Structure formats: structure tokens, C-alpha cells
Amino acid sequence: MSAQSHVVVDVMLKPEILDPQGRAVVAALGRLHVDGVVDVRQGKRFEITLEGEVTEDRLAELHRMAAELLSNPVIENYVLHIQS
């Protein structure tokens, strides 16, 4: 069986974009009697499994995938991590 690679893409709303879901979480933390949390930002994490190694071509394809489908560059940033 050929080896598999694992890649994680984290997608977050850009810092300047309001995150009302994160704000709602902050409000709920107060009801959990947790103090001192001033901000929560909520994002998405994609765990991707690939056949074989992450070659340079593959990496370019992953970036295209992250930029064109997994995130919307108008409102979101992504970070791509290759898991060892």
C-alpha cells in the first residue's frame, strides 16, 4: 500500500471581518462563569488525506484548492500545514 500524506487547512475570517458566531461564544462563556475571555474567533479546519507524497505540484494544487474552494478570499484567510 502506498503511503498517505496528511494536510491540514485552517480557514479563519479575516481579522477586520466581524465574527458574530465568535461573539456569541464569548457571551456564552460568561454564563459558564469563565472570566477574562475578551475575544473568540471561530474558523474551519479541513483535514485532508492524500495518496503518496506532497510534491511541489501537489502543494500548488492544494493551495489552489484552499484559495478557490475551502476559503473565500474576500472574507477569509487560510493556512496550510503539512503533517509529518
Which one of the spans 2-10, 13-21, 49-57, 59-67 is the region binding other proteins (CB under 8 A)?
13-21
- CB closer to other proteins, 17 vs 53: 17
Q: What is the 3-state secondary structure (H, E, C) of the chain?
A: CCCEEEEEEEEEECCCCCCHHHHHHHHHHHHCCCCCCCCCCCEEEEEEEEECCCCHHHHHHHHHHHHHHHCCCCCEEEEEEEEC
Q: Is residue 18 a contact residue for other proteins (CB under 8 A)?
A: yes
Q: Is residue 30 a contact residue for other proteins (CB under 8 A)?
A: no
Which residues within the stretch 58-77 sit at the binding site for other proteins (CB under 8 A)? 69-70, 72, 74-75
- CB closer to other proteins, 60 vs 75: 75
